[in-house]
Every structure is written in structure tokens, then in C-alpha cells.
């Protein structure tokens, strides 16, 4: 009797007013409650993972816009470096006093882009390990895959722009800075490609 009352309490059923339940019925009620709680936990976990994937897609989109802005800045640096190399040695044509600072800032921002894409890659890899076949995850995973591909494409153009700019930066007298621009743009491209692969792995999962 004590055991039966315990099962009824666990099942959330009133022991006195309801019709008496058999041991098997009580056990079944408890089992249903446990299964229901587990289903709720699975749904909550899937909802949390969906939100994480969606946030990762938004972050990838922000990185893509950042890469586009960096392309504009590197093209501007290239133009200023070309102008400085033409004007070198000409009377009354002083060097661009801010060019080195602009190159340094571009290097720092390229480094940040590579780092942020690498961190996002690790997040995507973690989410791929956690993911199960769930229709609720499909749309955010597709969005992350799409943003990852666009970021990869943008950084490929960024690498190309940086390589071309590096020649003019060297001619303007900034050999080490030109090397930094090439290296960090290559690192950004590698990180973006890794993110795109991780996003595709998540989608395939």
C-alpha cells in the first residue's frame, strides 16, 4: 500500500479521491511522466541548438560585411601606395604621412577577421557534433552554410586584392608591411574556408 501511494504521488494523481490503480497502472503512469519529461528536454535542447546555429549564421554574415569593408580599405591603400611611389623623389611632393598607419590598421583587422572566423569554426564543429537529424535545425543550418560560403568567396577576393596591393606597398617602401598584408589576408581566407567546411558538415549531419 505504501509503495502504491508513492507511485501515485510521483504520477501526480490523488490517492484518496481517485479509483485505486494497480501496481502496473501506477508504474505505467510514472513511465509516461518520465518519457514526457525527457521529450521536453530533447525539444528544449533542439531549440537551444537552433538558436545557436542561427546566431552563428548572423556572426558569419557580419564577418562577410567586415571582409567587404576590408577590401575597400586595401584598394584605397593600394591607390595611395601607387601615388606615393610615383611621387617619391619629386620636389614638393611629400610622402603620405598616414599610409603606414592605415596599413598597420588593415593588418590588425585582417588578423581579427582570421581569429573570429576560427572561433566561429570551432563553434560550428561543436554544434555539428551535438546535432541530430531534426527538421527544426534544417533552416538555420542552411543559413549558416550559405553565409559560410559567401564569407569564403569574399575572403578569396580579399586575398587577391591583398596580393596585388602588396606589390605597390613594397614599391612605396613598406616591404615588411606588404608581407604582413599578404600573410594575414591568407590566414583570413584559410579561416573562412574552414568555417565553410564546418557549416557544410553541420548541414550534412
78 SS3 class: helix
The H-or-E segment that residue 188 falls in is helix 175-204
> Does residue 7 register a pLDDT over 90?
no
Flag the least confident range among 26-30, 162-166, 197-201: 26-30
Flag the least confident range among 16-20, 78-82, 124-128: 16-20
- Strands (E) in 2-88, as ranges, are none
- How confident is the model over 34-71, as pLDDT tens digits? 554 455 544 545 458 999 999 999 999 999 999 999 99
pLDDT at 194: 96
Task: Please give the model's pTM, rounded to 2 decimal places.
Answer: 0.74
Centroid of chain to Cα 40: 28
Amino acid at each position: 500500500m505504501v509503495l502504491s501511494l508513492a507511485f501515485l504521488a510521483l504520477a501526480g494523481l490523488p490517492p484518496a479521491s481517485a479509483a485505486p490503480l494497480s501496481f502496473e497502472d501506477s508504474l505505467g503512469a510514472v513511465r509516461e511522466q518520465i518519457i514526457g519529461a525527457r521529450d521536453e528536454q530533447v525539444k528544449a535542447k533542439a531549440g537551444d541548438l537552433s538558436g545557436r546555429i542561427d546566431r552563428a549564421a548572423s556572426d558569419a554574415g557580419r564577418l562577410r560585411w567586415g571582409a567587404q569593408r576590408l577590401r575597400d580599405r586595401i584598394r584605397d591603400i593600394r591607390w595611395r601606395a601607387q601615388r606615393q611611389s610615383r611621387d617619391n623623389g619629386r620636389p614638393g611632393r611629400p610622402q603620405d604621412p598616414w599610409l603606414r598607419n592605415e596599413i598597420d590598421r588593415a593588418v590588425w583587422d585582417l588578423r581579427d577577421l582570421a581569429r573570429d572566423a576560427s572561433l566561429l569554426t570551432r563553434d560550428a564543429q561543436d554544434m555539428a557534433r551535438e546535432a541530430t537529424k531534426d527538421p527544426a535545425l534544417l533552416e538555420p543550418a542552411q543559413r549558416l552554410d550559405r553565409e559560410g560560403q559567401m564569407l569564403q568567396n569574399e575572403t578569396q577576393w580579399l586575398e587577391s586584392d591583398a596580393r596585388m596591393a602588396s606589390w605597390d606597398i613594397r614599391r612605396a617602401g613598406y616591404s615588411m608591411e606588404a608581407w604582413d598584408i599578404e600573410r594575414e589576408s591568407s590566414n583570413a581566407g584559410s579561416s573562412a574556408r574552414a568555417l565553410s567546411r564546418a557549416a557544410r558538415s553541420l548541414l550534412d549531419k
